[in-house]
Structure 1
Amino acid sequence: MTIDKDNQTLPTERTQASAHNDGRRAFLSFTLASGFAMAVQPVMAGAITTDGTGLLTSTVAIPVSSGMLPAYQARPAEAKGLLPVVLVVQEVFGVHEHIQDLCRRLAKSGYLAIAPELYFRQGDPRAYKAIGDLVSKLVSRVPDQQVMADLDATLAWASANGGDSERAAVTGFCWGGRIVWLYADHNPRLKAGVAWYGKLAAERTENTPIQPVDVATRLKVPVLGLYGGEDASIPHDTIEAMRAALLNAPARSEIRVYPDAGHGFNADYRPSYNAPAATDGWARMLEWFTHHGVR
C-alpha cells in the first residue's frame, strides 16, 4: 500500500485492492477510529490534542500472514527524502486516541510514526469497559512471537512507503513498554528504543515466555527506560535488577526513574498524568533518538 497526498491509502496494484478489500473493510470498521477506549472513560478534561496541520495521517492495512494488520501512521507533509521511522507500540488499551496523538507529536518532530493494532486477531480492545476483563480476556491471549512478527511487518511497510529502515527506532507505553525491550532484542538493526513504564519481570507463560530482564545482558540496541518511582505495578527491585543486568549488555542502555511519578505518567488523558515527568521524558526520548542516529 502507498499513501496519496489526500491522506488515503492506495493499493500499488488494482489486483491488490480487489484481493484485500474484505480485509480492509473489516479493519476499518473494527478499530482506529478517533476516540478513547471505553475502559479509560471518563477522559480528563486537560487531555492533550495534537492537530494534523502540516502532517499526512491515515489508517493503513499491512498484509500479514493471517490477514490485514491495522495501523495508524503520521508523517510530515512536506518531507523530502526518506523519513526516520518510529514504531509506536500501544498501551494496554490498543491504538486509541492517545496513541494516535503520540504519533502526530512524533511526526511534528520529523518522524514517520506508525502504531500497529497488535491485538487485532484476538479482538477489539475498545469493546471492554473494565481493564480486568480487557487483560484477562484479550491481552493475555496475545503471543509475544506474534507481536514481534507484526512489528517486523510494520517496519517493512514503513520502509516501503517513505521510511528509512536504516534509521528506525521503537517506543512503547505500558504494555508496549515491555514490548520495546523484547523487540530491541529481536531486531538488532534498530538504532534505538525508548520504553515507557513497561514491566521488566513478570510471570512467564506460554504467550509471554521471556521477560525483559532475561534479554538485558545481550541487548545490542540502546534502550532508554522511563519509569515512575510511585509505580506500584513495577516493583523497584525489578528496575534495579534490570539496571544491573544492562551493565553487561553490548549496547549502553539507561533507566530514568521519576520519584514522584506513578504508572502511566505520560497518559495526559488520565489522572496518572505527571506533567513534569512526561515533559522531561519526551525531551529525553527525542534526544536519545538524535544521539543514536535515528535523526
Structure 2
Amino acid sequence: MKVAEPLELRHTDRAMTRAVTPHAESTILTDSQGIIAGETTIPSQGEQLPAYLAKPVSGDGPYLIILVVQEIFGVHQHIQDVCRRLAKQGYLAIAPELYFRQGDPHQYDDIPTLLSELVSKVPDAQVLLDLDRATNWAVRQGGDANKIGITGFCWGGRISWLYAAHNPQLKAAVAWYGKFSGNKTLTTPKHPMDIAADLSAPVLGLYGAEDGSIPLDQVELMRQALRAANATAEIVVYPEAGHAFHADYRPSYHQASAQDGWQRMLAWFAQYGVK
C-alpha cells in the first residue's frame, strides 16, 4: 500500500476576481462532505506553488488524478468548486495557481488589463513544468501515476490541449472552449492548431457555437488538423452556448450545455483509463 506524504491544507474563502462582474445567481456551491479540500503549496522550480486540492476522505488510494487548469481569473471559488465536484466522483483534483510568479489575478479590476499586464507575461513552458510538478506531487499524496487526466477552462482549455502533447503519462484531456490559434510570442510560441500531430493523449474539446472569440471556422480548421494527424480527439459544439458556458457564476452560463459537457467529460476520462 502506498503511503501518502503528510498533507497540510488551509481552508480559506477565495473571492472571485474583481474583473468578473456581475456574478450570476446560478452559482453552484459544492460542499466538502466526504472529501478533503483546501489550499496547499507544491515545491516547483525552487519556489512554493500555491494550489487547491480536493480528494475523497475514504480509501487509501491510489486515487485517479485530475489536473484542473484555471481560467484567466486564477484559482477562484468556481475552479475550487470544480475540484470538489471531481473529488466527489472519486478523483484527486489539483488546481495549481499558474500565474503566481507573475502576479495575482484577483487584484485586477478589468479583463483587458488582466490580459495585458499579467496573462500575456506567463510563459507556456513555465506552465507546463508547473503542471508536471503538480502531477508528481499529487502522486506523492496518494495519486495514481498511471491514471492522470487534465481539464481546463478558457485559458486553461488551451493549456489542456498543449499538455496533451507535452506529458506522455497523460491518459486523457478535456478542453473547455480553449482557443485553437493566436499570436505567436516568446511566451506562447505554439497553439493547439500547431501541435495536433503531437498529441499523445486523447482530447475532448467542448465549445459553443455562439462563442465570438472562437468562430466556427476555427473549430473546423482544428478538426481538419486533427483528422490529418490521425489524432484521437473529438470536438463537440453546443448550438446555443457561447464562451464560458460552464462558468455557473457568470451570466454566460448555459446550464444544459454545461451539464451535458460535464457528463461527456466524465465518460471521456472513463473511456481512456482515468476511471
Normalising by structure 1, we get a TM-score of 0.89
1:236 alignment counterpart: 216
Residues 219 and 250, structure 1, Cα contact 8 Å, conserved in 2: no
Q: 2:101 aligns with which of 121, 131, 137?
A: 121
Q: 1:266 aligns with which of 229, 246, 253?
A: 246
Residues 60 and 142, structure 2, Cα contact 8 Å, conserved in 1: no
Structure 1 position 213 matched with structure 2 position 199 = no
Task: Give the residue type in structure 2 aligned to 1:130.
Answer: D
Task: Give the residue type in structure 1 aligned to 2:147.
Answer: R
Q: How far 1:60 sits from its partner (Å)?
A: 1.4
Distance in 1 between the 2:110 and 2:232 partners? 39
Q: Name the SS for the 1:40 alignment partner.
A: coil
Residues 67 and 93, structure 2, Cα contact 8 Å, conserved in 1: yes
Q: 1:73 aligns with which of 53, 60, 66?
A: 53
Task: Give the residue type in structure 2 aligned to 1:51.
Answer: D
Per-residue CA deviations over 1:158-187 (Å, capped at 9, x if unaligned) read: 011110010000000000000001010001
Count how many residue pairs are aligned between Structure 1 and Structure 2. Answer: 272
Normalising by structure 2, we get a TM-score of 0.95
Residues 217 and 247, structure 1, Cα contact 8 Å, conserved in 2: no
1:1-295 → structure 2 map (5 Å cutoff): 2-4=5-7, 8-9=8-9, 33-249=13-229, 251-295=231-275
Distance in 1 between the 2:179 and 2:143 partners? 29
Q: Name the SS for the 1:193 alignment partner.
A: strand
For CA contacts below 8 A with separation 6 or more, give which structure has more relative contact order.
Answer: 2
Distance in 1 between the 2:166 and 2:13 partners? 30
Residues 233 and 263, structure 1, Cα contact 8 Å, conserved in 2: yes
Distance in 2 between the 1:164 and 1:105 partners? 19
Q: Name the SS for the 1:38 alignment partner.
A: coil
Q: How far 1:33 sits from its partner (Å)?
A: 4.2
Residues 58 and 73, structure 1, Cα contact 8 Å, conserved in 2: yes
Task: Give the residue type in structure 2 aligned to 1:199.
Answer: K
Change (3 A) 1:2 1:38: farther
Residues 68 and 93, structure 2, Cα contact 8 Å, conserved in 1: yes
Residues 185 and 218, structure 1, Cα contact 8 Å, conserved in 2: yes
Greater mean alpha carbon deviation, residues 133-142 or residues 237-246: 237-246
Greater mean alpha carbon deviation, residues 217-226 or residues 37-46: 37-46
Residues 56 and 77, structure 1, Cα contact 8 Å, conserved in 2: yes
Q: How far 1:99 sits from its partner (Å)?
A: 0.2
Distance in 1 between the 2:270 and 2:34 partners? 22
Distance in 1 between the 2:105 and 2:231 partners? 35
Residues 209 and 240, structure 2, Cα contact 8 Å, conserved in 1: yes
1:16 alignment counterpart: none
Per-residue CA deviations over 1:215-241 (Å, capped at 9, x if unaligned) read: 012212100000000000012111111
Q: Name the SS for the 1:135 alignment partner.
A: helix
Greater mean alpha carbon deviation, residues 39-48 or residues 114-123: 39-48
**Gaps spanning 5+ residues in structure 2: where?**
none
Q: Which has the higher helix share?
A: 1
Sequence identity (%): 55
Q: How far 1:3 sits from its partner (Å)?
A: 4.5
Residues 170 and 180, structure 1, Cα contact 8 Å, conserved in 2: yes
**Gaps spanning 5+ residues in structure 1: where?**
10-27
Task: Give the residue type in structure 2 aligned to 1:122.
Answer: Q
The CA RMSD measured in Å over matched residues stands at: 1.5
Q: How far 1:42 sits from its partner (Å)?
A: 3.0
Q: Name the SS for the 2:201 alignment partner.
A: coil
Residues 218 and 250, structure 1, Cα contact 8 Å, conserved in 2: no
Q: Name the SS for the 1:95 alignment partner.
A: coil
Q: Name the SS for the 1:155 alignment partner.
A: helix
